[in-house]
Structure 1
Amino acid sequence: MKQQPSSLEQLLDRMDEAGEGEEAVSLDKLMETIGKRSFGPILLLIGLILISPLSGIPTLPSTMGVAVFLIAMQMLVLRKHIWLPGWILRRKIGQQKLAKASQWLRRPARFVDRLVKHRLNILVDGPGSWPIALVCLVLAVTLPLLEPVPFAASSAGLALTCFGLAMTAHDGVLALLAYSITLGVGWLIANSFM
């Protein structure tokens, strides 16, 4: 069994690995490559998909919202393995689009990986993951609301990326940043519908 990715660059490497020799890559194959026992890396993967140009694909933000909702619920009930329905797992992304998104994310990933450290673990480990799961539930509900505005789902994707990376790297400071970004997403939605 592969060790879970511990950085953004390792996750992007796994995304590229999943797409090798494929015309299109299913979410199931991406999750299989990353590991279905790892809530942090899976949230990180979904966040990266949403902050990349892939978020412009119609219905993708809503589909990712359903996935995040289900994942967050499973975090709250302390499941050991991630379960998603087949219709989400069968959702495919063209290999060329996935490779382009991965390439687009490489430079920022190298920068972010240098800043991430083990700190304030209490905010991401054990009971510290429950508030993250609750906030992810809220973000999941916002994704369909943000979908009509082109690339607006990227703001929620940024928060999910930070939460996923915080859980993966055990970085509580990054979790605090993710909470702040979530407040910004709430402000964006409030101003969009007023």
Structure 2
Amino acid sequence: MNLEQLIDKIRATPVEDGRVALGDIMESLGTRSFGSFLVLAGLIVVMPLIGDIPGVPTLVGVIVALVSIQLLMGRKQFWLPQTMLKRSIEKARLDRALQRTERPVSWIDRMIKPRLSAFVEGNASYFIAACSLLVAAMMPPMELVPFSANLAGLALITFGLALVARDGLFALLAFAFTLIGLALAASAIL
């Protein structure tokens, strides 16, 4: 699955009272796909109309932390509390945010392909889950530095794409984003 297909699945999520719930989006993507989940979490953080709302990166960080811990514990299917899954956004706002991603998504899809699989398969997926947990922990302090949470979102998207496309080069790129984000989070704390 490429990023365009993933976004199409998000767009096709059922709407209730003009709103789309996180649980419905997760169900559309599947509760077994850690890669798709990371892409979704990262997109929420980097989307201008959504991720710039104060507290959203921190909430996404909590959700990513919960899922990452479950994967590190060896669970094959992840679980989230109903209070998180019931969170929703207006369908029109979601559509506007997704529309803004069309050009970069098209460009990214041309870049990803299966390669350097040692960085995404087997035990490497546990390392990616641990790095995702680190990214999640960095998100609250990154909110103190304007737009730095976007880097955390970018790291999550890149990790997710690496897993979905089995692209080890993207995993290496995500590790680099994580290190840069760690430096930004440390500067926000100090």
Letter in 1 for 2:38: L
The Cα of 1:144 is off from its aligned counterpart by 1.4
Aligned match for 2:55, one of 30, 52, 59: 59
Letter in 2 for 1:35: G
Alignment of 1:80-159 (within 5 A): 80-159=76-155
Aligned counterparts of 1:150 and 1:186: Cα–Cα separation in 2: 15
Q: Which moved more, 1:148-157 or 1:93-102?
A: 148-157
Cα deviation code 1:6-25 (max 9, x no counterpart) = 11101111111115575111
Task: Classify 1:19/1:108 alpha carbon distance in 2 versus 1 (closer, same or farther; 3 Å).
Answer: farther
Letter in 2 for 1:136: S
Q: CA RMSD in A?
A: 1.4
Q: Corresponding residue for 2:13?
A: 18
Aligned counterparts of 1:190 and 1:135: Cα–Cα separation in 2: 16
Aligned counterparts of 1:25 and 1:136: Cα–Cα separation in 2: 25
Task: Classify 1:107/1:22 alpha carbon distance in 2 versus 1 (closer, same or farther; 3 Å).
Answer: farther
Task: Classify 1:101/1:121 alpha carbon distance in 2 versus 1 (closer, same or farther; 3 Å).
Answer: same
Q: Which moved more, 1:110-119 or 1:58-67?
A: 58-67
Task: Classify 1:88/1:49 alpha carbon distance in 2 versus 1 (closer, same or farther; 3 Å).
Answer: same
Letter in 2 for 1:12: I
* Structure 1 unaligned regions, length at least 5: 1-5
* Structure 2 unaligned regions, length at least 5: none
Identity percentage of aligned residues? 42
Q: Corresponding residue for 1:43?
A: 38
The Cα of 1:80 is off from its aligned counterpart by 1.5
Cα deviation code 1:69-93 (max 9, x no counterpart) = 0111121122121201111111111
Task: Classify 1:146/1:169 alpha carbon distance in 2 versus 1 (closer, same or farther; 3 Å).
Answer: same
Aligned match for 2:24, one of 9, 22, 29: 29
Q: Say yes or no: does 1:169 pair with 2:170.
A: no
Q: Is the 8 A contact 2:2 2:165 kept in 1?
A: yes
SS in 1 for 2:68: helix
SS in 2 for 1:100: helix
Task: Classify 1:12/1:88 alpha carbon distance in 2 versus 1 (closer, same or farther; 3 Å).
Answer: same
Aligned counterparts of 1:180 and 1:85: Cα–Cα separation in 2: 31
Cα deviation code 1:120-169 (max 9, x no counterpart) = 11111121111111111111111111224443311100000000010000
Give the TM-score taking structure 2 as reference length: 0.94
Cα deviation code 1:29-86 (max 9, x no counterpart) = 1101111111110111101111111111232111111110011112112212120111
Q: Which moved more, 1:157-166 or 1:65-74?
A: 65-74
